[in-house]
Each structure stands twice: as C-alpha cells, then as structure tokens.
Structure 1
Amino acid sequence: MQAPPAQNEGQDFNLKEILQRYTHKWYWFVLVAAITLVAAKVYLRYTIPSYQSKASILIKDDQSSGGLGGISPFSDASYFSGISSSKIDSELAILKSKRLISEVVKELNLNIRYENIGSIITSEIYTNKPFVVQYLSFKNENNKGVQKLFFEINSETEFTIYNESKSINETHSFGESLEFPFGEITVIPVFDQSVSFSEFIGKTISVSYAPVESTAVQYQNRINVATDNRYSNVISLSMQSPVRQKAEDFINELIFQYNEDAINDKNQVAQKTSNFIDSRLEIITRELDSVEQNKETFKSTNRLTDIETEAQIILQNASEFDKRQLDVGTQLELANTMVDYMENAGANDLLPTNIGIQGPEISSAVVNYNQLILERNRLLKNSTSQNPVVVNLSNQIAQIRTGIKGSLENQRSSLKITLRDLNYKEATLNSQIAKVPRKEKLFREINRQQGIKEQLFLFLLQQREEASISLAVTSPKAKIIDSAFSSKAPVSPNRLVIYAGALLIGLLIPFLIIYISNLIDTQVKNRRDIERILPQVNLLGEVPKLGKNEDELVRQNDRSMLAESFRILRTNLQYQFLDKKDADVAKRLFVTSTVKGEGKTFVAFNLALTLALTGKKVILVGADIRNPQLHRYLDGDKNKYRGLTEYIIDETVTAKELMQQSSLNENLKIIHSGVIPPNPAELLMRPRTGAFFEEIENDFDYIIVDTAPAMLVTDTILITQLADVLLYVVRAGHTDKKLLEFLKDAINSKRLPSASVILNNVSSNNFGYGNKYGYSYTEEKKSFFQRWFR
C-alpha cells in the first residue's frame, strides 16, 4: 500500500530537480531579460511608427439602370441593387491593378521620395518639402532607374548636391538647370509652407527617383482591398504607412482614378452611339433634301396646287393604310441600318442602343452585349486574351452578337413580308382610286417618302440630345462612404507585443542554453546521476572541487571543505567493516576508477592521511604498476624507490624494506609500485601478491591500495578478491554516465564485488542532491561576484 506514495514522491522530487537546474542560474535569466528589454526599448525609440489609413466606397450596379447605352444619369436606384460576387471580385482586381496604381503614382509623384537625413533616424518628408526636384529628361532609358541624390542646403539661394559614390559633388543655386550623367534636373525652393525654409539650412535632404512601374508594384503590394462581407457592395481600402497624409492622398487618388476609369468606360458606349446617330443624320438629311427637291420639281412641272383637297375623300379612306405602311417602312429602314452597321462594325465595337427598333428582346440583348464588351475590355487592361474569364466573355459576346443579328434578320424578313402584303393591299386600293389622276398617285408617293424621312430625322435628333446629356452628366461608379482617414495611434510597432516578445526571448535564450547544455552534457554532475544508474551501490562520500590556490592534501587541524569531506568518508567507512570478524587484522581498501584522470590516487592519498590523523596505522600501496601516480604527492625521484613489483619478482625482498615513511604524518607509510614490468597482469596473478598483504596486515590498521583503472586494464579485477572494500572513484564533470554501465555490469557479473562509490570533484552547487545550502564549518568571506553569481 505504500508503493504509490513513494512513486509520487520520487516524481515530485524529479520535478524539483529539473526546476533547480534553471533556478540555480536565475541571474542569467534576469541578465538576458534585462538586455532584451533594453534592446526592445532602443528598437522602439529609433523605429519610425506606422499608421493605418482606411477608406470605404460603395460600388453601384449599372446593370438595371436605363438610358442610352444602359446609362441613366438621373437614377441612383442602383445603390441598393446587389452585385454578384464575381463582379465584385473583378472590381477588386481593377482597384488593385498596376495600371490604375501607376496613374496614381504619376499624379502624386510618389516615385520621387524626399528624406531628412538625421544622425540616427532618417524620416520621410511629404508635405513640408524645402524644395522640389524636377526631372526634366533622362539621357537614355537605361539611366531611368533608381537615382538617389543628396542635397545639403547652404542658404536660401545655394545648395550642395552629391551622390553616394561622390562622383557628383557640386554647389549650385536654386532654379538652375543641372546636367548630370543620368539626365537633367532643376531644383526649385518652396517658401510657402508651414515650416520655415530656414529650419532646413545646414541639413541634408536625400531625393530618390524610382521608375513609376517599380513604385506602382510596391504600392500594389502594400494596399489592401477587400469587401466588408461576402454579399456586400462595400469595399474597404487600407494601407499602413509612416506618413499618414501620404497614405490618405494615395487612397483618395486611387478612388478618383477608379471613378475616372469607370466613367471613361461608360462614355465609350454613349460616344459610339452619338457618332452613329451623327452619321445617320447626315445620310437622312441628304435623302430628305432630295425628296423635298423632287416634290418641288414635281409640283412645278405639273402645275399642281392642292391635290390633297381634290382627293380628300379617297385619301381619308386610305389614311389608316398609309399609317401602317409608314410604320412598317420605318421599322424596316431601322432594321436594315442596324444590320448594315453590324456587318461593317468590328467584333469588339459597341452597338447603338434605343434607336427605335421594336422588340424588347433585341434592345435587352444589345444592352447586355455592350456591358460584356466593356467588361472584357476592362479585364484585358490587366490580363491577356488567354485568361479563362476573358475567353468565357468572348464566347458569350459571340453568342449574343449572333443572336442579335439573327433577331434583326428575322424581324427584317417579317417586315418585308408585312410590307409586301401592304403593297398588295395598296394595289387593291389603287384599283379603287383608278379615277385619281396619275399625278396624284405619284405625288402621294413623294409625300410618303418625305414623311418617313422626316420622322426618322426627328427621332435621330432626339436620340442625339439624349446621348449628349449622358456624356455630360455620367455619374461615378464608386460612391465614397468614408474618405481616407488615419489612426491617431500607431499600429506598428506594437509596444506591448515588442516588450512581451523581448521578455519572452530574454527568458527563452538562457532556458534553451541550459536545456541544450544539459541535453548534450552526458557527464556525471551529482550523486543523483549515480543513484539513477547504480541504485544498488553505496555512495560513501563526495569530495569537493578544489580551487586553483587550494591545497590538495588534508593537513593536521585542517578545517577546509576537503578535510571535512574526507572525515565524512572516514566515518561512512566504519559501517563497511561491521561484519569483519578479525578486528586485529588490517582492513584492506582498494581504490580504483573506470578510466584514468578520475582522481583515484588523490582520493587514496587523502583517505590515508585522514585515517592516519586519527592515530591509526595506515600503509598506502601503489598497485597501479602500469602508470604509477603516487609519486606526485612525495618528494624525490620516483625511479629510486623500489616497490610492489620488486616484491613480487624477488622472493628475498620483504615488505618492510619497501616501506617509506611519509613526511606528512608519522602514522602513514608508503610502498611504491616499483619498476614498470612488461607483463603486469601475469605478475599480479602470482602467489606473492597475496603473500604481500598477509605479511603487512598484522602491522597496520588500514591497507589502502591505489590500483589501475578497472575498465582500461584487467589488473584491478585480478586482485579485487584480496580487498575488504572496493572504493570506486567517479569524477564529476569528467566521467561519462555511460561509463557507469561498466561498473554496473562488473558488479552484476561478480567481477567487482563489494564496490562502493566516491564522487570526486563535486562543485558546491551539486553537493548532496544538487542543492546549494551554503553550509560550511568555517566562516568564509566571499566577494560580491561570488555571492550573486556563484
């Protein structure tokens, strides 16, 4: 029942340990966060803010409006009619087209940019320019690229001009015509502005000229054109710019150019109709003059005065018939005229509308035909004839044109049949008025022709007046709901977002560095790293990391952390010998490690000193006969001492002959490893090795043996059965965690029994389980840096 709580406790402790990896470095989080916040403040201080400028317009639907050519200058009912989403998409494409924006750039001279060069910030000048640069000409088209010139105003009459490469550096007067390699310019001062011209004296102004096309592309990418919702005719135009007035002028001019473009498209239909009417009026006028002249000649030749009175009775009976003949003749003439026009006109020409042809289906078809022609022409300005939309429109136009022509042909055929019937009936009528003189008959025909021409002439005059009115009062396509206006507060950069992002980056950078360093760092750091891999192994003690000037050896009455750690190790060792039956026999302590450089010799020597300080007799034996390191802590030449190697080889040598008295403690004696033999492993397997320990165990309380690294050579494994306790040294910050798997396998396979671990070179932050408590036996004075950035 107690297992789950223990598991939860371990998990909680692991979380604390993970957090402590970062809280121990809290000062780095504070430092980096402070740096990023300061950087954000500097960025905001020297970044030019951008403002949002916005306008909204309503697109009017002209599809349902009447009037000549589908134009009704006096009707605004189309405000409330819906427009299909495809048409709105077309209007959005036109508003954002490069052609339309290029016209705006030309009108406002947006391709010429004026900037005030400051020591840190360079700001754009738009409204209060001290002067205006007029680019009169370019010597060749290749030079018509981006040109940047610098103007330093010396006085109200003179200025210095130079370019970036200093190939141009001259002083001139305002108003002069200046010749340069790229072309000719003139600089004209501006005195009638709110900012005094004298404030710019001594300052440097840069003027950049860019091609209209490239500038239009830049604005095309910056302007945002969108509908408020899917089913609305309202379009919003917005743009961000550091100069509010410039963005407002651009948006307002774009709306103006859009309306002008739409008005021009509408006027094309009215102008085409007006030209058609004028041409027909010329023809009808000549024909009417000819009929009147024939009438005059006929009456003069036949000396006629009032034939109508003479045939009044007969003519009254035929008046209704004549009226019908007149209407049919007029319609036939109009149909013939329309058919001739369509045969002579091009496939892309607009058709005249409302010229009097009866039949609503023909008038409606002509109106739809003209709208499709205009729509296709507008799309071709920003696209090619291969565009699927243009191809679709072209197919529709061809179908409608074929339908109109077919309807006119059918109507003309019907009118001819009707007229033939009327002529047949006329013959019957003529037989009834056979008594009427032939002169009267001919005169009636002349009057009939005159009436037809006069009626057609008056109708065309009326249509011409309507066309003139339509040209004069064509309404714009876009109704302005809100003119361009700018936000008072800048929208970019967002100070809150910048500061929040800087703080987040300031916290994230040290977090990532610590996380990555812990991720790629596979070295042992503290005792918990050992306990995770070797839970069954005792950890007897931890040896602190020494500073550069700290003594490496434990001295008499030493109160340093090094001495205290070995005293703790000495105490913990007492519990390893509780089961030892023969208390009078020396306790054998073998010290080894995984690889070289982990401090086993350092631990063995200091452990021997610590035990000797208690009055115990201790002997330190150097058993690392391949790479002896014990001489580092002794005076004299290492080669002059005989040691364990000589004892094993020469049976006449006794252990007492090899013992050397330590100068550091009278209770400590040392036996060196001796001469390095050619066969160390075979040498240690000899019986003399065991006899060596049996010979000295009755004269000492502790035998401490400095052996070879267990993973590199087999020497230590061969003699571990002679040890009471095997001390395995692991060095923090040096030993790889993977190397602990060797010790684990060696213990499980019984090659290294009774192994206990000593963690060497532990930093103060990693003592215990990674907590820095700051406890010390002595009061140590620490510097400010050590107290805050330990």
Structure 2
Amino acid sequence: MSQQPTPYNQQEEEINLREELEKYLRYWPWFLISMLICIVIAFLYLRYSTPIYQTKATIIIKDEKKGGIMSELSAFEDMGILSGMGGGNSIENEMGILRSKQLITDVTKKLQLNVRFYAEGDVNTTEIYENRPFEIQILQENEEELIEAQIYSIINETETGLTLQNELTEEELNLNFGEPVNLDFATIVINKAEGYTGKFDDLLQISFTTVAAVADNYREKIQLNLTDKNSSLIELNLNDPIKVKAQQILDQLILEYNRQAIEDKNLVATNTARFIEDRLDIITGELDSVETGKEEFKESNQLTDIQAESQIFIENASDFNKKKQDINTQLELSNAMLDYLSKDSESDLLPSNLGISESGVNSVISEYNTLVLERNRILRGSTLKNPVVIDLNTQIEQIKANVLQSLQRMRSNLRIAKGDLDQQAATMGSKIASVPGKEKQYRGIERQQNIKEALYLFLLQKREETSLSLAVTAPKAKIVDRAYSLKEPVSPKRKIIMLAALILGVLIPFIFIYLKQLLNNKIESQKDMQRAIKMIPLVGEIPKVARKEEELIAKNDRSVLSEAFRILHTNLQYLLVNSGNTEGANVLFVTSTVKGEGKTFAAFNLALTLANSGKKVLIMGGDLRNPQLQRYEMDSKDLKGISDYLVDASLSLPSLIKQSQLHSNLDLLASGSIPPNPSELWRTAKANTMFEDLKSEYDYIVVDTAPVMLVTDTFLINKYADLTLYVVRAGYTEKKLIEFALDAKKDGKLHDVSFVLNDVKLSNFGYGNKYGYAYGVEKEGFWEKLKSSF
C-alpha cells in the first residue's frame, strides 16, 4: 500500500540556520550604525560621568572577655580597679554603634561636610574638596530655616570680599572677608584659604545643607562587613567621587568611635575618684583633730612611754582591737555608701571596690554599674521609649534596691558585731581597772588615731589606683588598615559599559527586526510564498519603483525594472508552450486578490515588454467596475470600450481599438462606460465572440481584470485566458490572502495560474540582489542600500 502524501499544511518545514541568519545579515548597515551610536553614547557617558571610587578601612574590636584591653591591664585586676567596668561587647552591637546617627552626625560636624564647593563646567558640576579657594566658618546655624539646600554662586571676587548670588531667589549678597554675614539660616565668616594655589575659570558655587541630611546620606552609604563570621575584624566601605574626602570620613568615624568608647570606660573611674576625694577631705580633717588631741593629752599629762605599763593587757587585747578596728572600718564604709546612695547622682553610677569585705555587696554594685553603662550607651542612638532601655531601667531599679538592702543588712550585722565587741571591751576594761585612767584615756585617743590613719591610707591607695586606670585607658577599636582608596573606580566600569554598548548595539536592531518580522503579516519576498509557489509557480518578481523613477519601461531600457519584465516574458514562453493554444493570440489575464496590488502596472509593463520584442500586442481594460488604464493612457477614460461593445450591437471592435501612445506595436481597448451590471455583460455570448475576433488580430492580448476577491467578474471570463498572472504586492498583500488564490485554483475558478510578486525591495529581490540582478547597472551607494533595507 503506497504511503499517502502528507497534506501541505501539516508538513514540517525544515529550519535552515543559515537562512535565519541571512534574515538579519541583510540589515548589516543598521547593525553597524546601531553599534557605532551605542559606542559613541557609551564613550560620552564615560567621558562626562563622575567616577565613583571605593574607600576601605579595617579595624578590630578588642573583646574584653577574650583578652583585648584587659590583657594589657592584667596587672591591675588584683587591685579590683577594673572589675565591673564593662561586660564584654557584641560585634553586632559595635557595628550598630559605628553606623549610629549620633556618631555620623559628629563626623559631619567635625569635617563640616554640610558645606560644599562646586565648580560648574560646561557639562559636569564637580565638587572641590581638597584645594578650596575659601574657608567658611559657621558661627551660628538654624537648621529649621534650612528646609532645602541653599546654593550660592560666586559671581564676583575682589581683594576684600565676594559677591554671592542665591540660585533660588537670584538675590545678590556682598560680603567682606573675615566679617560675619547673615544668610537667614546661618551666620558665617568667609576667608581666603591659606596656601591656595589653584585657579578656576569655571563658575564656583557654595552649597549649604543641613547636618542631619548629610549624616543620613552617609549613614546609608557607609557599609560595614565582617571579614569572617568568627572574627572581630570589621571592614568599613564608602563609595564617593572624592578619594580624600572618603578617607577622612572613615578615619574620623573610627576616631569618634574610640573617643566615645574611652569616655564610657572612664565614667565609672571618674565617679569613683570624685567619691574618694570627698572622703579623703573628711578623713584628713578627722585625723588632724585626733592627732592634735593626742599631742595635747601627752603634753598636759607629761606622758612619755606608757607601753611598758600595760604591755601584758595590750598583747592580750591585740586580737580584739584588730577585730574592732576592722568592724569600725567596714561600718564607716557602709555608712559612707548609704550616705552616697541617699544622694541623687547625675550618672547613677556607684563607687566600686572601696574595700568592703562583703563579696555579695561588691557583686551587686558591679552588676548595677554594668547595667547603667549599657543603658547609657544605647541611649546615645536611641530614646527612653526604647523597649531595651525600659527593660534596663527596670533591672537597674531592682538591683539598686538590692544594693541598698545589702548595705543596710551589712550595717546591721556590723552593729551587732560591734555590740558584741563592746561587751567584750567592758569585760576587758574590768581587767585593766588597775591601769590609771590616764592610760585608758590615752588608749582611746590612740585607737581613734589608728582607725582614721588606716582609713586615710586606704583611700590614698585607691586614689592612686583610680588615677592610674584613667591614665592607661586604651582605644576600643584598633586600626588594622587606615582608610585607603582603590585606584580603579567602581562606577562606571569602562570595560563593562563598552561591552554592554556593543551588545546593545547588536541587540537593538536585532529586536527591532525580529519584532518587525514577527508582527509583519505582509508578504515581503518569495520566501514568504514558499508554501504557495509549491502549488502555483512564481514566474517573476517586479522590483520596487522609487518615487522619482519612471513606472513604465522604455525601449532599450536597461533598468532593473525592464530586466525583471524581460525575465517574466521569458518564463511565460515556457508556460505558454503547455497552454494548448495553437492558433491566434496568447491571452494573458492579469489579476490580484484585492485592489492596489499593481495589476494595471504589471499589465502595461508586460504589454510594453512584449511590444518591444516586435510582437503585436493589445492591452484590454477588463475591469469594467473600476477602470485603471487611464493611469498610463490619459485619453482612455473618455473612450468607448468593452462595456459599450457588449451592450451596443452597432459598435464594431476595430472602431473601439486605439493605438497606444506608449509604443507603435501596442494597441488599447478601454473598459468603456461603467455599466450597472458588469457580471451580466461578461456572461453574454458576445464576450466570447469578442475574444475570438481579437485573437486573430494580435500576437498577445493582455487583459487587466478586476480583483478576484472583491467581485466575480474575473472568474466569469477566466476561461478565455491562456495564462493567468496573479499579482501579489510585497509589503501590501497579507499572507493569509494567498490562501484565496490557492483555493481558487483548487476549486477550478482559475486555471493556468502563475504568481507575479510586485513591488519587491531590492534587498529582497531575487536572491537578495546578490547574484547580479542589476548586472550592467550602476550599483547603489551605502545610504541607498540603507534606505532600501527598510
């Protein structure tokens, strides 16, 4: 059983990669122009865009828990001078502090970043940072009045001053160097910069912005990154057009961070030193009073050495006295601490490590100071409404209550112990009753002296230790790499932009051509008719005629148009051989699907081509409804013709045929008057007679017929045709209309049909005009090819 042929509409067409590429390569001039334009735009962008450089700095946060600062001060840990001062730090918290608004605001004020100088050029406006011609000092500033940036242009400079113009209000302001001037939002002083060596020909501008706006801007631009998740190395990045400016910002940021960290660490030690100084003043006065009393007692009682008299009792009571001395010291310290707690301290910090023997009390005081410091650090970048701050305040109040309770309990215990010792003292007193009253009184004075002296020496030692801790405070952030800028800009990247421009230059025409082909539903070349010409042959292609060119060919014409019709003539000879016509003229019908596809144009030029070959040719106006022969034969509109002949029996064909003005071998039979019933006229027997009579008189009869999709006239007379030329116009005929021609042939309404592709661009002509369709004709220039490609 033989295999059934696959229907055409179900066949899969093989996609030829080379043919697909040729669809785009034919537009190579547009690709070249697009790439050149994109490269020029990229070059101009790189030429006039401001390069952005990356500036980096690296620091290491010293962790007190892991060594850091404390490892350098380990010699003081035994003194207890640094216990409770800090409790370690979280890297995330430190990074948050580095990016805090307050810290960056301090940097902005220190470097005066809210005042900037600009040099206005022809294309770009460039900021001047290093070599500024003037120095500006802000004496007073009111940021509430500075709603938006204020820009002043320096329009005149003299030896004594400047003339500024407000860019917004165009108001001019004259000022003298070194004298204060009021700018509504600030009071400033402008002076000439010392050592200024530059010279600017461009217009200079001064911009004033709020500190908060500049700080917020740099807060967003500064990036912090951990070099490793397990390390405390922090890398600071800042992208800015001015390298020196970015370096100074990062260095100043680290400096401000260390300054605030040192202030935090010294806060407890400062309060402790103040407390010690106050107590030393009191103890010094008391010690002076006791020593003076002792001196007066000895002088009045003429005492020299009473130690020998009570040596035995003193040795037995030495342990007792030592205990009593310690208890009195601890009781004095507890009273001092309770007295300090009763006062409102501005810093809320408590003195630590004064020598209180109760470890629980020291622990609670250390914990209290740690929480106060943590709360104060958070308040620098936050408010009292912060949930963390509220929670810390609650904890501080609780611990403060614990401190007070612990001190009160400690004092109660000391008083009880003192009471016990007093009872023992009474017992001991009875034993030394034999000692003269003077000795007893002397011992009381000496005891008071020893207590005050011990406390005095203790406070002196603590004062020195506190002063030493203040003197050796180290920065919290150690600088690993000072701020430095990369040589190559991070933006714009020249290589990437040039490559992108090259790719975009190729992509733009490619997308345009692809969309143009995708959305185009018109026939452009014979490739668009591949399916149709497998059923109906394509016998010729007619090139597009420019507006200034002649539409009709002439004798001995060597244009592409005339060569196309000569090729059409040659191809017709092969088709006419198989038509079966052995007698009379060859009748050629020229038709199309709809109006405007170039039937009349093709019919006239085909007739002229046949006439130029020496044949006797007749061109007939077969479209009785809408005659078009008058386009090329001006007089044919008023001539009687076919419709008149078919209606009026008195008319003869020879009387209606006129010689064409275009060629001596060409005759013309006009359409005639427009009848009300063209279809009925073509159905008459006289129409058959007309064609039979004409065939005996001519070699070729070319009939310009009506569009087959609009009316049925052409179908009615197609039986008289030896060959039907179906004109399709490139760029005008929709692809789906080709189906109508195929269906007409399939249904037998048209016979011996051949396609003629009209109005083809030279870029689509034949095989892309690649193999000599314009042989012997002057070649088109580049711009002509460029215009014809689209």
Range of TM-score over shorter length: 0.7 to 0.9
Q: Distance in 1 between matches of 2:536 and 2:415?
A: 120
Aligned length: 773
User: Which residue does the alignment assign to 2:110?
Assistant: 107
Q: Deviations over 1:543-590 (max 9, x none)?
A: 111123433223333333222212222232334345444522654433
Q: Distance in 1 between matches of 2:371 and 2:191?
A: 49
Q: Equivalences for 1:2-17 in 2 at 5 Å? A: 11=14, 13=16, 15-17=17-19
Q: Distance in 1 between matches of 2:349 and 2:175?
A: 57
One-letter amino acid of the counterpart of residue 26, structure 1: W
Q: Distance in 2 between matches of 1:418 and 1:692?
A: 151
Q: Distance in 1 between matches of 2:495 and 2:292?
A: 91
- For residue 145 of structure 2, give the secondary structure of its aligned residue in structure 1: helix
Tell me, yes or no, if the aligned pair for 1:559 and 1:777 is still in contact at 8 Å.
no
- 2:37 equivalent among 30, 35, 38: 35
- For residue 765 of structure 1, give the secondary structure of its aligned residue in structure 2: coil
After superposition, the Cα gap between the structure-2 partners of 1:663 and 1:108, relative to the gap in structure 1 and judged at 3 Å, is: closer
User: Which residue does the alignment assign to 1:593?
Assistant: 592
Q: Distance in 1 between matches of 2:127 and 2:585?
A: 91
Tell me, yes or no, if the aligned pair for 1:133 and 1:186 is still in contact at 8 Å.
yes
Tell me, yes or no, if the aligned pair for 2:62 and 2:69 is still in contact at 8 Å.
no
Deviation, structure 1 residue 542: 0.5
One-letter amino acid of the counterpart of residue 627, structure 2: P
User: Which residue does the alignment assign to 1:61?
Assistant: 63
Q: Equivalences for 1:715-730 in 2 at 5 Å? A: 715-720=713-718, 722-730=720-728
User: Which residue does the alignment assign to 1:79?
Assistant: none
User: Which residue does the alignment assign to 2:370?
Assistant: 371
After superposition, the Cα gap between the structure-2 partners of 1:359 and 1:138, relative to the gap in structure 1 and judged at 3 Å, is: closer
Q: Distance in 2 between matches of 1:180 and 1:89?
A: 42
One-letter amino acid of the counterpart of residue 715, structure 1: D
One-letter amino acid of the counterpart of residue 548, structure 1: R
CA RMSD of aligned residues (A): 4.4
One-letter amino acid of the counterpart of residue 218, structure 1: N
Q: Distance in 2 between matches of 1:750 and 1:637?
A: 33
One-letter amino acid of the counterpart of residue 728, structure 1: Y
Q: Deviations over 1:513-538 (max 9, x none)?
A: 33333333332211001215664332
- 1:97 equivalent among 81, 100, 103: 100
User: Which residue does the alignment assign to 2:518?
Assistant: 519
Tell me, yes or no, if the aligned pair for 1:728 and 1:757 is still in contact at 8 Å.
yes
Deviation, structure 1 residue 629: 0.6
One-letter amino acid of the counterpart of residue 518, structure 1: Q
Q: Distance in 1 between matches of 2:326 and 2:257?
A: 44
Q: Distance in 2 between matches of 1:332 and 1:67?
A: 35
- 1:133 equivalent among 108, 111, 136: 136
User: Which residue does the alignment assign to 2:236?
Assistant: 237
Q: Equivalences for 1:703-782 in 2 at 5 Å? A: 703-720=701-718, 722-747=720-745, 751-752=749-750, 754-770=752-768, 772-780=770-778, 782=780
Deviation, structure 1 residue 624: 1.7
After superposition, the Cα gap between the structure-2 partners of 1:704 and 1:423, relative to the gap in structure 1 and judged at 3 Å, is: farther
User: Which residue does the alignment assign to 2:458?
Assistant: 459
User: Which residue does the alignment assign to 2:82?
Assistant: none
TM-score, normalised via structure 2 length = 0.83
One-letter amino acid of the counterpart of residue 350, structure 1: L
User: Which residue does the alignment assign to 2:81?
Assistant: none
Q: Distance in 1 between matches of 2:678 and 2:608?
A: 28
Tell me, yes or no, if the aligned pair for 2:725 and 2:756 is still in contact at 8 Å.
yes
One-letter amino acid of the counterpart of residue 317, structure 1: N
Q: Which deviates more from structure 2 when the two are superposed, residues 543-552 or residues 337-346? A: 337-346
Q: Distance in 1 between matches of 2:21 and 2:551?
A: 33
Q: Distance in 1 between matches of 2:318 and 2:365?
A: 34
- For residue 541 of structure 1, give the secondary structure of its aligned residue in structure 2: strand
Deviation, structure 1 residue 234: 2.2
Q: Distance in 2 between matches of 1:336 and 1:668?
A: 138
Q: Distance in 2 between matches of 1:139 and 1:101?
A: 19
User: Which residue does the alignment assign to 1:565?
Assistant: 564
Q: Distance in 1 between matches of 2:528 and 2:204?
A: 66
Q: Which deviates more from structure 2 when the two are superposed, residues 656-665 or residues 756-765? A: 656-665
Q: Distance in 2 between matches of 1:378 and 1:754?
A: 99
Q: Distance in 2 between matches of 1:440 and 1:748?
A: 150
Q: Deviations over 1:64-105 (max 9, x none)?
A: 67999x9949789xxxxxx99972222222222232222222
Q: Distance in 1 between matches of 2:752 and 2:772?
A: 33
- Any unmatched runs of 5+ in structure 2? 78-85
Q: Deviations over 1:153-212 (max 9, x none)?
A: 65545654444368544666544555666665443234545x27xx56x77533223222
- 1:87 equivalent among 70, 86, 90: 90
Q: Equivalences for 1:440-519 in 2 at 5 Å? A: 451-519=450-518
Q: Distance in 2 between matches of 1:618 and 1:731?
A: 25
Is structure 2 residue 149 aligned with structure 1 residue 146? yes
User: Which residue does the alignment assign to 1:253?
Assistant: 252
Q: Distance in 1 between matches of 2:746 and 2:428?
A: 136
Tell me, yes or no, if the aligned pair for 1:57 and 1:234 is still in contact at 8 Å.
yes
Q: Distance in 2 between matches of 1:8 and 1:191?
A: 87
User: Which residue does the alignment assign to 2:24?
Assistant: 22
Q: Distance in 2 between matches of 1:47 and 1:332?
A: 76
Q: Equivalences for 1:85-484 in 2 at 5 Å? A: 87-119=90-122, 122-137=125-140, 142=145, 146-151=149-154, 156-157=159-160, 159-164=162-167, 167-169=170-172, 174-176=177-179, 178=181, 185-193=188-196, 195=197, 199=199, 204-282=203-281, 284=283, 310-335=309-334, 337-338=336-337, 341-342=340-341, 349-358=348-357, 362-391=361-390, 393-394=392-393, 397=396, 401=400, 451-484=450-483
- For residue 217 of structure 2, give the secondary structure of its aligned residue in structure 1: helix
One-letter amino acid of the counterpart of residue 90, structure 2: K
Q: Deviations over 1:381-430 (max 9, x none)?
A: 21234445545555655565566566656656665666666667667767
Q: Equivalences for 1:578-657 in 2 at 5 Å? A: 578-584=577-583, 586-643=585-642, 645-650=643-648, 655-657=653-655
One-letter amino acid of the counterpart of residue 538, structure 1: P
Identity of aligned residues (%): 46
TM-score, normalised via structure 1 length = 0.83
After superposition, the Cα gap between the structure-2 partners of 1:416 and 1:551, relative to the gap in structure 1 and judged at 3 Å, is: same
Q: Distance in 2 between matches of 1:396 and 1:11?
A: 82
After superposition, the Cα gap between the structure-2 partners of 1:721 and 1:313, relative to the gap in structure 1 and judged at 3 Å, is: farther
One-letter amino acid of the counterpart of residue 764, structure 1: L
Q: Deviations over 1:253-308 (max 9, x none)?
A: 22222221112212211122223333444555566677778888999999998776
- Any unmatched runs of 5+ in structure 1? 77-82
Deviation, structure 1 residue 479: 1.9
After superposition, the Cα gap between the structure-2 partners of 1:262 and 1:752, relative to the gap in structure 1 and judged at 3 Å, is: farther
Deviation, structure 1 residue 709: 1.8
- For residue 18 of structure 1, give the secondary structure of its aligned residue in structure 2: helix
One-letter amino acid of the counterpart of residue 730, structure 1: V
- For residue 592 of structure 1, give the secondary structure of its aligned residue in structure 2: strand
After superposition, the Cα gap between the structure-2 partners of 1:392 and 1:451, relative to the gap in structure 1 and judged at 3 Å, is: same
Tell me, yes or no, if the aligned pair for 1:149 and 1:206 is still in contact at 8 Å.
yes
Tell me, yes or no, if the aligned pair for 2:324 and 2:418 is still in contact at 8 Å.
yes
Q: Distance in 2 between matches of 1:93 and 1:35?
A: 47
Deviation, structure 1 residue 18: 3.2
- For residue 540 of structure 1, give the secondary structure of its aligned residue in structure 2: strand
Q: Distance in 1 between matches of 2:546 and 2:385?
A: 81
Deviation, structure 1 residue 325: 4.0
Tell me, yes or no, if the aligned pair for 2:138 and 2:188 is still in contact at 8 Å.
yes
- For residue 728 of structure 1, give the secondary structure of its aligned residue in structure 2: strand
After superposition, the Cα gap between the structure-2 partners of 1:453 and 1:754, relative to the gap in structure 1 and judged at 3 Å, is: farther
After superposition, the Cα gap between the structure-2 partners of 1:107 and 1:539, relative to the gap in structure 1 and judged at 3 Å, is: same
Q: Distance in 2 between matches of 1:433 and 1:754?
A: 157
After superposition, the Cα gap between the structure-2 partners of 1:9 and 1:422, relative to the gap in structure 1 and judged at 3 Å, is: same
Q: Distance in 1 between matches of 2:48 and 2:663?
A: 71
Q: Distance in 1 between matches of 2:166 and 2:534?
A: 76
Q: Distance in 2 between matches of 1:669 and 1:700?
A: 9
- For residue 540 of structure 2, give the secondary structure of its aligned residue in structure 1: strand
